């Protein structure tokens, strides 16, 4: 697999482009057709987050009064403050519940919008095909499903958390500055000395946290990829269960899965080791933060300059300022995971952009009433030439059979006609008419048989009688009763049945031009002859370009073209 694209986002970050690209990925939603609801929800969440900061400040003042009441043994004040606490707590609970609820609502709406946009982009410009062929990115399914989910939830959580911590920092810094007083050090008076203590404490802690935990970004990126590769390998086994079973390939597949899981295992152990060192530090840092303000403020308390309530208020304010200054420390693992998610999404989006901006080397357009291939060259990734300056014209109504040795470029020529082959030169002019491609292995979507039969159109496109007719014509009468049955039809039907279903699809669609790539390879000659004749009889004037090896196909194609030495050569038709 080409790993350059995978790490392009990391390199971009080094060049200072990472946040610019993340910003470009983040902002479109907030300017989209949903911007009204999005901003309303975001403002509501921000307001509730700021309310929670206000409640924390409220509690800080309560701590002072409560501990002073305890020190003074003022029972009336004690019970009044208990009731006061219940009121503050009730407001805090309601705010927390709705902050979470509205945040989740905003997250799923943002995720839905991003997912739809990525669906459209992935399926547009043949990105889903070209990215797989070129090996530009791994597991696009995971990037659209899991990574977009993690991106939206983590971005909101981290962004709103950062805003909340900034507001909290300002609020409690003012309180801490006011209650901490000043201290004389070597003849210098330091005002608000508790504030400077917590600042130094948090800066040193943040720096050490980054030194210890910075490997987590790359390790999290790799873990997501290894987990997705393992899931994909298991899906491959499910999709090819019959072939594996007939080969008795279970030991081989077991080794492959174990190898995939081995990567998950070893990478996770690396994450565990880094996380263990990071947790040792952060847990010690947080524990020390509990006692540190008492140690620093104790001289003033024992000197009688402050009372117990003020000491507890200093401790509470110090804890909040320290927590705000230390947001980077507490959120480091979340930041590392978010960064890995962004890297994967950015590399995926960059790969799609590269494919979209790549100028087509073969000029394929739909115009006129004939199929014209002019000066066409088709190249493989290793530089080998399949076709060189090939020319061909197929007139409307002709039926042409393409043949040649295996690997000569027959199927590749059809891929080029279908806008799927990027390497080469020359031009292809497809007729501007209704057309359909029938590949060797038909695609049958999971769903009802009616939907599989009418694909890519909707299942209710044709009347019921048409479905029954084409199934019976294509020797599939036993499937008529199952038209509305939902199933995984590529597993349920034999290869021959799948190809007959593809012919039934062609009869339904009734194209003017039909391009077939060994579309009868899994049929016997009797079925093949019956289906070709049905196409000719039921779709008058149908133009056909078929790739095939069997001599039995020749009688349905008055014209034969063979690929020889990289050229398209017309063959003499024998009676």
Given a contact cutoff of 8 angstroms between Cβ atoms, the answer to whether 167 and 53 are in contact is yes
Of the ranges 109-113, 155-159, 162-166, the best mean pLDDT one: 109-113
Cα Rg, the chain, nearest whole Å: 34
Q: Are residues 286 and 383 in the same domain?
A: no
Give the tokens for residue 250. 């279970």
Q: Are residues 319 and 368 in the same domain?
A: no
Percent of the chain with pLDDT over 70: 92
* Crossing angle of the two packed helices 35-71 and 75-123, in degrees rounded to 10: 160
Residue 248: give the domain boundaries: 8-357
List residues bridging with 432 in a β-sheet. Answer: none
Specify if 309 maps to a domain: yes
Last residue of a domain, one of 307, 326, 357: 357
Q: How far apart are CA 464 and CA 444, in angstroms?
A: 19
Q: Are residues 313 and 378 in the same domain?
A: no
Residue from 423, 429, 431 nearest 377 by CA: 423
Specify if 1 maps to a domain: no
Across 113-142, average pLDDT: 81
The vertex-114 CA angle with 112 and 120, nearest 5°, equals 100
Residue from 358, 332, 341 nearest 210 by CA: 332
pLDDT digits (tens, 9 = 90+) for 535-554: 999 999 999 999 987 888 88
- DSSP-derived secondary structure letter, 434: -
Residue 194 has a pLDDT of 74
| Whether residue 502 has pLDDT greater than 90 | yes
Across 239-250, average pLDDT: 75
Check residue 516 and give left, alpha or beta (phi > 0: left; psi -120 to 50: alpha): beta
Give the tokens for residue 397. 């109504």
Q: Are residues 333 and 369 in the same domain?
A: no
Give the tokens for residue 125. 């410009």
| Whether residue 9 has pLDDT greater than 60 | no
pLDDT digits (tens, 9 = 90+) for 183-209: 666 667 667 677 777 777 777 877 888
* 503-540 CB burial, b ≥16 within 10 A, e <16: bbbbbbbebbbbbbbbbbbbbeeebbbbbbebbeeebe
Strands 371-379, 424-430: pairing kind: antiparallel
Least confident piece of the model among 35-39, 85-89, 356-360: 356-360
Last residue of a domain, one of 311, 326, 357: 357
Q: Are residues 427 and 494 in the same domain?
A: yes
Residue 535 has a pLDDT of 94
Rounded-to-5 percentages of helix, strand, coil across the chain: 65, 15, 20
Q: Are residues 314 and 376 in the same domain?
A: no
Given a contact cutoff of 8 angstroms between Cβ atoms, the answer to whether 431 and 513 are in contact is yes
Spell out where 21-162 has E strands: none
Q: How far apart are CA 475 and CA 500, in angstroms?
A: 8
Could you tell me which residue, 53 or 400, shows the higher pLDDT? 400
Q: Are residues 298 and 156 in the same domain?
A: yes
Q: Are residues 329 and 437 in the same domain?
A: no
pLDDT digits (tens, 9 = 90+) for 431-443: 989 999 998 889 8
Percent of the chain with pLDDT over 90: 29
Query: Taking the alpha carbons of 394, 396, 398, 403 in that order, is the dihedral positive or negative?
Result: positive
């Amino acid at each position: 697999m080409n790993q350059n694209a995978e790490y392009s986002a990391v390199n971009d970050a080094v060049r200072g482009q990472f946040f610019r690209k993340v910003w470009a990925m983040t902002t479109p939603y907030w300017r989209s057709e949903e911007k009204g609801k999005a901003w309303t929800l975001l403002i509501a969440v921000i307001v509730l987050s700021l309310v929670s900061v206000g409640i924390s400040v409220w509690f800080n003042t309560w701590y002072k009064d409560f501990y002073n009441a305890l020190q003074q043994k003022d029972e009336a004040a004690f019970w009044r403050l208990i009731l006061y606490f219940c009121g503050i707590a009730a407001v805090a609970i309601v705010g927390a519940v709705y902050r979470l609820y509205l945040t989740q609502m905003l997250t799923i709406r943002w995720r839905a919008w991003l997912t739809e946009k990525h669906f459209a982009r992935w399926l547009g410009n043949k990105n889903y095909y070209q990215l797989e062929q070129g090996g530009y990115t791994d597991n696009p399914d995971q990037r659209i499903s899991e990574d977009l989910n993690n991106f939206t939830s983590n971005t909101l959580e981290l962004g709103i958390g950062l805003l909340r911590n900034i507001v909290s920092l300002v609020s409690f810094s003012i309180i801490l500055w006011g209650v901490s007083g000043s201290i004389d050090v070597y003849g210098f008076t330091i005002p608000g000395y508790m504030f400077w203590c917590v600042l130094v404490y948090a800066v040193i802690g943040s720096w050490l946290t980054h030194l210890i935990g910075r490997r987590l970004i790359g390790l999290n990126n790799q873990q997501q990829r290894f987990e997705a590769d393992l899931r994909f390998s298991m899906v491959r086994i499910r999709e090819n269960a019959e072939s594996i079973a007939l080969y008795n390939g279970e030991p081989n597949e077991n080794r492959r899965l174990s190898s995939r899981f081995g990567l998950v295992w070893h990478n996770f152990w690396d994450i565990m080791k880094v996380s263990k060192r990071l947790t040792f530090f952060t847990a010690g840092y947080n524990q020390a933060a509990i006692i540190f303000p008492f140690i620093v403020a104790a001289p003033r308390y024992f000197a009688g300059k402050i009372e117990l309530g003020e000491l507890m208020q200093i401790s509470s304010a110090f804890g909040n300022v320290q927590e705000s200054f230390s947001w980077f420390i507490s959120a480091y693992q979340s930041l590392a995971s978010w960064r890995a998610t962004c890297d994967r999404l950015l590399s995926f989006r960059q790969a799609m952009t590269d494919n979209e901006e790549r100028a087509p080397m073969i000029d394929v357009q739909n115009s006129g009433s004939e199929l014209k291939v002019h000066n066409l060259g088709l190249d493989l990734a290793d530089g080998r030439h399949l076709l060189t300056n090939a020319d061909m014209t197929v007139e409307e109504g002709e039926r042409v059979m393409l043949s040649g040795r295996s690997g000569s470029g027959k199927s590749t020529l059809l891929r080029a006609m279908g806008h799927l082959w990027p390497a080469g030169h020359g031009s292809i002019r497809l007729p501007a008419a209704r057309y359909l491609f029938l590949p060797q292995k038909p695609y049958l979507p999971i769903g009802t048989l009616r939907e599989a039969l009418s694909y890519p159109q909707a299942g209710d496109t044709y009347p019921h009688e048409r479905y029954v007719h084409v199934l019976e014509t294509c020797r599939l009468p036993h499937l008529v009763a199952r038209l509305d049955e939902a199933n995984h039809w590529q597993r349920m039907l034999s290869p021959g049945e799948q190809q007959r279903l593809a012919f039934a699809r062609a009869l339904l669609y009734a194209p003017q031009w039909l391009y077939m790539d060994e579309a009868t390879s899994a049929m016997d000659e009797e079925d093949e002859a019956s289906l070709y004749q049905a196409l000719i009889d039921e779709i008058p004037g149908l133009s056909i370009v078929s790739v095939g090896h069997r001599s039995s196909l020749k009688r349905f194609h008055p014209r034969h073209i063979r690929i020889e030495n990289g050229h398209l050569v017309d063959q003499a038709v024998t009676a």
